[in-house]
Amino acid sequence: MSLKTETITYYNFINGEWKSSNSNEKIESKNPADNTEIVGIVQKSTEKDLDEAVMAAKSAQKAWRNKGFIARGQYLYKIAEVLEENIEDIAITMTKEMGKTLAEAKGETMRAISVFKYYASEGMNKIGDVIPHTESDGLMYTTRVPLGVVGIITPWNFPIAIAAWKIAPAIVSGNTVVFKPAQETSITAVKLVKCIAEAGIPKGVVNLVTGTGSTIGQGIIDHADIQAISFTGSNDVGKRVAIGAASRGAKFQTEMGGKNPVIVADDADLDLAVEQTINGGLKSTGQKCTCTSRVIIMEDVFDQFKEKLLSKVREITVGSGLESDTWMGPCSSEKQLQTVVNYIKQGINEGATLLYGGKRLEQGKLKEGYYVEPTVFENVTTSMVIAQEEIFGPVLALIKVRSIEEALEIANDVKYGLSAAIFTRDIGRMMTFIKEIDAGLVRINAETAGVELQAPFGGMKESSSHSREQGKAAIEFFTATKTVFVKA
């Protein structure tokens, strides 16, 4: 498969039309597997472009709201159909833009399709309750109404799934959308919106504005005509979203980072624990918010687990995500690679022992990409930076403990609380873990990553604004409850 393509320019989608930015400035989307390849060019939009998109979304609001849930759901089925016809192209684009393997990119696109189908049918579910009233001849009930125009800001690591799990519930609930994707993966976002357009969505219901976080992202935070913001990304930007939205009374949800632990108990199935730790920690080059980062192992099985883990890590093949024998692709950008390499250096400086990896890979073709070795540290203590901060790269920190109690204490000793796993056969330990662990996603004998679109998703502590995405929780976010009393 050829890596080179001709450079195509992609446009904003505003009020049903593909439009150039007012700025006439462009952003290049580069391939992290081969920095000589420009995947395409997107618009570097201005506040004026954003304003046009918000106005379009505002104008489309009433007609879209009045269609009702079931009719809106039909559009989502159609979007899923069009996406199905474009899986291959979207997946290749995603792999070229941010590096994940083609198999992962296809899986993610299929996930997005399921998300649209799920929310299409969610439009037929009940949206309220009848509640007894003190006046027995009156009728009191709740109903849900859309919020208005919603701003959607997404990261680059799941370019289509996260966009889908925000846009689908937003529009089926009757909102109209202004969508700002991460710069790194704007072309994948354009391709998603092309499918939405092809499915016949009325003009103004979904608008796409590409550009920088500082202009378009911040513009969404500040725009008086945007009633709600759904954000996924880093904690620093998430805080800006939360503060900005709260200060002008807009509804918001922020899903942010993680520092996800796995506990390996002395009664664990070690082969399973090794396999799942590697999948959770190193797949997608460690660039999932639910990635395993800290591996907390009871001392009696530490050496055995470590040897099994290292023998599997040595087998990992690193290369372009488009090649079928690649297990792990590059970091998504040069900046991301630098961040990972710096954390590895910091780990060494702080006294952790590097067991495997640790270096940028530059042999042959790899030189043109942002590749790093899968990396494993031991002798990591909980106060070290590599045990506290989100690395967002393929780095595992092994921590030895004497007891389950100590393991739990360490597992909870971070500011994050997104996902956590334990490997044990002991029901008592499982129950204690479920009760004690500070995590929104609790996994027993399974990797920390891995979500189901029909279940609520989100973190505790600083990982999230404490609302949830996906499943029915998303409908709750994208609607407001009205309590109605009727007396004949």
Among 23, 35, 86, 234, binds ligand NAP (CB under 6 A): 234
Among 45, 157, 175, 188, binds ligand NAP (CB under 6 A): 157
Residues 365, 387: Cα–Cα separation, whole Å: 32
Residues 334, 109: Cα–Cα separation, whole Å: 25
Residues 112, 241: Cα–Cα separation, whole Å: 25
**Residue 289 appears among annotated catalytic residues:** yes
| Contact status: 256 vs ligand NAP (CB under 6 A) | yes
CB of residue 15 to ligand NAP, shortest distance in Å: 22
| Contact status: 97 vs ligand NAP (CB under 6 A) | no
Report yes or no: 169 and 477 within 8 Å, Cβ to Cβ: yes
Residues contacting residue 355 through CB under 8 Å, at least 6 positions apart? 306, 310, 376, 377, 378, 398
Q: Which is nearer to ligand NAP, 219 or 369 (CB)?
A: 219
Q: Tell me the one-letter amino acid at 143.
A: T
Residue 362, φ and ψ in degrees, nearest 5: -135, 10
Among 33, 91, 167, 182, binds ligand NAP (CB under 6 A): 182
Residues 418, 307: Cα–Cα separation, whole Å: 28
- Taking residues 161 to 180 in sequence order and writing x for each that binds ligand NAP by CB under 6 A, - otherwise, the string is -------------------x
CA-to-CA separations, 189 to 5, 32, 86, 321, in angstroms, rounded: 18, 17, 13, 19
| Contact status: 116 vs ligand NAP (CB under 6 A) | no
| Contact status: 380 vs ligand NAP (CB under 6 A) | no
| Contact status: 358 vs ligand NAP (CB under 6 A) | no
Q: Which of 172, 110, 118, 119 is nearest to 146 (CA)?
A: 172
| Contact status: 389 vs ligand NAP (CB under 6 A) | no
Q: Which is nearer to ligand NAP, 236 or 315 (CB)?
A: 236
Among 33, 60, 76, 237, binds ligand NAP (CB under 6 A): 237
Q: 87-98 and 186-198 are packed helices; what angle lies between their axes, rounded to 10 degrees?
A: 160
| Contact status: 221 vs ligand NAP (CB under 6 A) | yes
Residues 240, 218: Cα–Cα separation, whole Å: 8
| Contact status: 245 vs ligand NAP (CB under 6 A) | no
Angle at 382 between CA 380 and CA 384, to 5 degrees: 70
| Contact status: 152 vs ligand NAP (CB under 6 A) | no
- Taking residues 277 to 316 in sequence order and writing x for each that binds ligand NAP by CB under 6 A, - otherwise, the string is ------------x---------------------------
Which two tokens mark 124?
């037929």
CB of residue 262 to ligand NAP, shortest distance in Å: 17
Q: Which is nearer to ligand NAP, 168 or 401 (CB)?
A: 168
The residue length of the chain stands at 488
| Contact status: 252 vs ligand NAP (CB under 6 A) | no
| Contact status: 338 vs ligand NAP (CB under 6 A) | no
Q: Tell me the one-letter amino acid at 210.
A: T
CB of residue 70 to ligand NAP, shortest distance in Å: 29
| Contact status: 233 vs ligand NAP (CB under 6 A) | yes
| Contact status: 204 vs ligand NAP (CB under 6 A) | no
| Contact status: 159 vs ligand NAP (CB under 6 A) | no
Residue from 195, 289, 291, 331 carrying the catalytic annotation? 289
| Only segment of 55-63, 167-175, 254-262, 357-365 that touches ligand NAP (CB under 6 A) | 254-262
Pair type for strands 26-31 and 34-43: antiparallel
Q: Which is nearer to ligand NAP, 265 or 437 (CB)?
A: 437
Which two tokens mark 305?
């687990």
**Residue 255 appears among annotated catalytic residues:** yes
CB of residue 184 to ligand NAP, shortest distance in Å: 6
Residue 60, φ and ψ in degrees, nearest 5: -80, -10
| Contact status: 412 vs ligand NAP (CB under 6 A) | no
With 0-12 CB in 10 A as exposed, 13-18 as middle and 19+ as buried, what is 225? middle
Q: Which is nearer to ligand NAP, 232 or 479 (CB)?
A: 232
SS3 245: helix
Among 29, 61, 114, 154, binds ligand NAP (CB under 6 A): 154
With 0-12 CB in 10 A as exposed, 13-18 as middle and 19+ as buried, what is 325? exposed
The dihedral built from the CA positions of residue 316, 320, 325 and 328, taken in this order, carries a sign that is positive
Report yes or no: 478 and 173 within 8 Å, Cβ to Cβ: yes
Residue 162, φ and ψ in degrees, nearest 5: -65, -40
Q: Which is nearer to ligand NAP, 298 or 418 (CB)?
A: 418
Residues 259, 195: Cα–Cα separation, whole Å: 35
Residue from 184, 255, 389, 469 carrying the catalytic annotation? 255
CB of residue 234 to ligand NAP, shortest distance in Å: 3
CB of residue 460 to ligand NAP, shortest distance in Å: 11
Residues that are catalytic = 255, 289
Q: Which residues bind ligand NAP (CB under 6 A)?
A: 153-158, 180-183, 212-214, 217-218, 221, 232-234, 237, 240, 255-258, 289, 390, 392, 418, 459
